[in-house]
Amino acid sequence: MMKTRTRTPSVDPSARDPIGSWLDVFVGLLDLPREQKKTIRDELDDHLRSRVDDLLITGITESEATQRAVGELGETAELARSFRAAAQPHQTRRLIMTASLFTVIGAGIVLGTATLTGIQPAAQQSHPIAAAAHADAPLIAIRGETYAGLFQLMRAQSDRPVLVHWDRLEEIGVNPDTPIGLDVDPLPSYVVHRLLREVTENAAGEPLDVHVSDELIEVSTRSHFDKRTREMRSYDVRELVELRCGIGADALVGRGESSEWRGAAEGVYESIVMLAEPDLWAETGGDLARGQLIGATLMIDAPARIHERVEAALAVMREDADRTRRLARQQVEHGDIERHKRIKEARAELDELAARYAHLRARCDRMVFEHDGAPNVDIAQTLMAELTVLEVERDLAQRRVHRVSGLIVDLESELQKFSSQRAHTPATSGRGASAPAQADLTGNVYVRGDVARPGVYQLPGTGELDLARLISAVGGAPAGSSVKLERPGHLGFESLAGTLASDMPSFTVESGDLVTVTAPESPAASPNPDPLARRLESIDRLAESGRIDADRAATMRERARAQTERAGLPGKP
């Protein structure tokens, strides 16, 4: 049969350095790392120039000598293929290289893949179905056998025909009468196949492969099987990419387009290449396998044995991803327990502080009343001094109430947020579409700040709730308070309302809203330093609570002002 072959590129005699020009073309075909290309180029350069020197002695011209020397190299494509095959790392080195790369990928993958690749053939030894299939494998002993003898033995001990591609085997120097150079006691046939691979790879640089199916035992070179079994397969790597992006990360929005997503997907692809015979991929200078990422789908064009490794690598990576996800979930759950505990403690503290604040406030009011009825200036001044101390204590208590209530709201908000995320994160797979990360679908609103009862409130199941009713439901806010309403959106919390305005109450509260109320002159911000003003505030509160009537309140205000003037204390008229 005629074969169509590519001839060596002709040497250009008009070139200034025809050998250099030819070598430039040749190394361009090598598809090897630059350093290896340079080594090959230098060695061939020395060979060609030495050959030309020898040929010149015979009396031919330099141009003719160069043409002949280059022609002796043989077909360029074949030559390049030989150099590429020789430059590929030895199997053992590949395993070591792969093992060292595992440390980069992670401990889970280290353990998983070591099981898969520690001893070859990995799939045959670790796969339970394969192991069962080998349980009744015939035993074969080799004593001074030739290859033909071995294959005849295999045929005799098997109930299937044996097809030997001698034409392929001869390409790697294996002939029917070639001694195997292997003496072994009876061993299961799959072990003999493995030994054959190692022996031929050591001797010829390329392993002989034995493919066993139900119908046939077939023997040929690995490259022959690689060529025949090469096909395109697609792999879904979405969950691995999502894990790299971070569960619930904003990068999930617009997936496939963001650079973060793209980077994560390429990272996954890189890991697969490194775990599945890395030196055979186009990315590393090989020519047996290549891949292309399309969104979250990885298309790989490679021989079947590479696909097996890709599947094994993906299985290990997915297992590791599941483990990571489980660990993250456990940590969140542990965090929930801590948050619940802290909320409980904070609530107890809040109750205590609220009681103390109420007590101090009542004492202050009573003292104002006593001060108002003091029989003389000295007693009034003593009472005033005590009142000042009490009021400071009262203000501090109020400030702590605010702080603790804010803490409770924050903790409950965190709890709700993580609970919502878990509800929308699949237990073992991230393949489903994810809801906006911070959306609260539980029907809760959060109220904090200067209100009587800050906390998390459930929205009514049927009707709508506006802001005014909500404020009222949480015990009301001091007159003139500002109210800020923040609403979770795709881009985080969006502030929908600023300072409280007259139209604020028309706002409808929605699930997940965060309402912050700030009193106009919050004691938490700055306690009033003016004793007279504080007295007047206390009198106002007494009047508002109905404990004194309006006339009595007016009288008390007059007296307070008069006493302050007499005592020379600062105060506004």
Q: Which is nearer to other proteins, 23 or 556 (CB)?
A: 23
Q: Which is nearer to other proteins, 195 or 543 (CB)?
A: 195
State the burial class of residue 385 (Cβ atoms within 10 Å of its Cβ: 0-12, 13-18, 19+): exposed
Q: Which is nearer to other proteins, 30 or 312 (CB)?
A: 30
Sites of contact with other proteins (CB under 8 A): 39-40, 42-47, 49-51, 54, 72-75, 78-79, 82-83, 85-87, 89-90, 146, 148-149, 151-152, 155, 162, 164, 172-173, 175-179, 181, 202-205
CB of 417 to other proteins, least distance (A): 57
**What φ, ψ does residue 18 adopt, rounded to 5°?**
-60, -40
CB of 205 to other proteins, least distance (A): 5
CB of 196 to other proteins, least distance (A): 14
CB of 173 to other proteins, least distance (A): 3
Give yes or no for a contact between 109 and 320, defined as CB atoms under 8 angstroms apart.
yes
CB of 220 to other proteins, least distance (A): 14
CB of 183 to other proteins, least distance (A): 12
Q: Which is nearer to other proteins, 40 or 276 (CB)?
A: 40
Q: Which is nearer to other proteins, 164 or 459 (CB)?
A: 164
Q: How far is CA 443 from CA 343, 423, 553, in A?
A: 20, 14, 46
Place of tokens 């003389």: 376
For residue 261 the two structure tokens come to 């997503």
Distance, CA of 466 to CA of 450 (rounded, Å)? 18
CB of 278 to other proteins, least distance (A): 17
Sign of the alpha-carbon torsion through 76, 81, 86, 88: positive
Q: Which is nearer to other proteins, 19 or 343 (CB)?
A: 19
Q: Which is nearer to other proteins, 86 or 111 (CB)?
A: 86
Distance, CA of 488 to CA of 510 (rounded, Å)? 10
Place of tokens 């903790």: 411
Q: Which is nearer to other proteins, 90 or 359 (CB)?
A: 90
Give yes or no for a contact between 243 and 325, defined as CB atoms under 8 angstroms apart.
yes
Count Cβ neighbours within 10 Å for each residue of 310-344 and write b for 16 or more, e otherwise: bebbbebbbebbbeebeeeeeeeeeeeeebeeebe
Helix (H) or strand (E) segment spanning residue 322: helix 304-372
Q: Which is nearer to other proteins, 81 or 233 (CB)?
A: 81
CB of 111 to other proteins, least distance (A): 30
Q: 364 in the Ramachandran plot: left (φ > 0), alpha (ψ -120 to 50) or beta?
A: alpha
Distance, CA of 126 to CA of 119 (rounded, Å)? 10
CB of 139 to other proteins, least distance (A): 19
CB of 424 to other proteins, least distance (A): 54
Ordered strands of the 162-164 beta sheet: 162-164, 217-221, 208-212
CB of 103 to other proteins, least distance (A): 24
**What φ, ψ does residue 459 adopt, rounded to 5°?**
-70, 150
Q: Which is nearer to other proteins, 215 or 503 (CB)?
A: 215
CB of 42 to other proteins, least distance (A): 4
Q: How far is CA 230 from CA 206, 215, 271, 301, 444, in A?
A: 18, 21, 21, 7, 57
For residue 287 the two structure tokens come to 């020519």
Q: Which is nearer to other proteins, 178 or 528 (CB)?
A: 178
Distance, CA of 321 to CA of 208 (rounded, Å)? 37
Distance, CA of 374 to CA of 368 (rounded, Å)? 10
For residue 32 the two structure tokens come to 């090897």
Tell me, rounded to whole angstroms, the distance of Cα 122 from its chain centroid: 28
Q: Which is nearer to other proteins, 13 or 181 (CB)?
A: 181
Tell me, rounded to whole angstroms, the distance of Cα 41 from its chain centroid: 43
CB of 149 to other proteins, least distance (A): 7
3-state SS, residue 293: strand
Look at strands 455-458 and 184-188 and give their pairing.
unpaired
Nearest of 478, 489, 403 to residue 448 by alpha carbon: 403
Q: Which is nearer to other proteins, 205 or 478 (CB)?
A: 205
